[in-house]
Amino acid sequence: MKISQLLFLPIILFVISCTSENNQKDVYENQADSVRVGAAVLLESHLDGLQGKRVGLVMNPTARVGDTHMLDTLLARDVNVTALFAPEHGFRGDFGAGETIEDGIDQETGLPVFSLYGQTKKPTQEMLDKVDILLFDMQDVGARFYTYNVTLGLVLEAAATAEVPVWVLDRPNPAGGNYVAGWMLDEQYESFVGAYPIPMAHGMTLGELAKMMIGERWLETELKPRLKVIPMKGWNRSMKWPETGLEWYPPSPNLPAFEHAYMYLGTVLFEGTNLSEGRGTPDPFLTIGSPQTEITDQQVIELKEQFPAVQIERITFTPKSMPGKAPSPKLEGETSYGVSLSIKNYDKFEPVTFGVRLLELLLENTEGSKQTDFIYKLAGSKDVQSFNISWQDEIEKFKEQREPYLIYD
């Protein structure tokens, strides 16, 4: 071989190597300089474990690596996907909050879709007869009252009874792993928006929560679930969503951006009142008020002084029907008065405490305002009635309790 050929040999080998890896790299090329979610790690290192298996997917539109949904990626990799399971908002995310989901067929693939947010919220034995393994992959928001963690617990219970393994493809807690706040759940308020004794903002990933559900025996099952968590790479507890480098795909129609999801940790409480929480506007959970709300400029200034990391403006707004997002919003068509919110500094803002203080202020300045029974399920405590935020001792106990189940530093 000539010297000139020898000089070019390393380059040729490098090109061949890159070409052979292209198919693997292109599915997570958008994550090259960011957090690599559990789904990407699965594609890179764990597909062998799915060979010869009938695979069921408990997913929604956030189950993506790069721009591609995991269903499409797995089918392209010849994984034998045999059933799809739809949580609240649907497998494709085309249902509004609280809308009943029926069993059906996925129009793009022809695969059966089993509803986990309809007459049954827990997989049945008949559903699980179609699978040998379940992959659970959904972006959570870090809130006890966000129903995906309850769906996860019910999937683990059903799968344990059917002796079907569950792999949780982990994703970040958008609020970070260190932000823990709010009341612990009082068992008298257990519901589908609060099933486990954790704070309003729990600071855990779904993978960590799954481990804790099992370890603390919160699940109703005689057999121990066969859980495998596929951890992320590159995520740590100090990271809030903007630091991950990941694109935000709305986990539900009314959380279009991270800002809405972060504020939602506190302003969700307005769902348990007769005031609007902003559904039917471009900025749900960042737009709060009612036709009877009267708040002064001075009150806004004083609230800003307490919470300098959030911008607060008085506004007038009218909730409107938004099919697929807010088909019948509270106070639809009624001119309302209240506040518009915008977070200036995520690291210095505590959404749960702010939500309680805003709740107190607006209820006191709205004629005919009231809390409904639903607010106790959201808050998990009767203390929301008196706006008592003395939850820190319970939070510290919870942090100690969760320590053995944490995956990330």
Mean pLDDT (whole number) for 249-256: 94
Phi, psi of 303 (to 5 degrees): -70, -40
pLDDT band, very low/low/confident/very high, at 14 (cuts 50, 70, 90): very low
Residue 98 has pLDDT above 90, yes or no: no
Residue 190 in tokens:
């257990």
Residues 18-70: pLDDT tens digits?
443 344 334 434 444 589 999 999 999 999 999 999 999 999 999 999 999 99
3-class secondary-structure state, position 199: strand
CATH architecture of structural domain 33-239+401-405: 3-Layer(aba) Sandwich (3.40)
CATH architecture of structural domain 258-272+274-370: Alpha-Beta Complex (3.90)
| Strand bridging mode 336-343 / 310-317 | antiparallel
pLDDT the model gives residue 108? 86
Residue 24 in tokens:
């693997």
pLDDT band, very low/low/confident/very high, at 96 (cuts 50, 70, 90): low
Residues 200-232: pLDDT tens digits?
999 999 999 999 999 999 999 999 999 999 999
Angstrom CA distances, 366 to 271, 295, 305, 338, 393, stand at: 15, 8, 22, 10, 32
**289 has which bridge partners?**
276, 338
Which sequence spans correspond to the domains of the chain?
33-239+401-405, 258-272+274-370
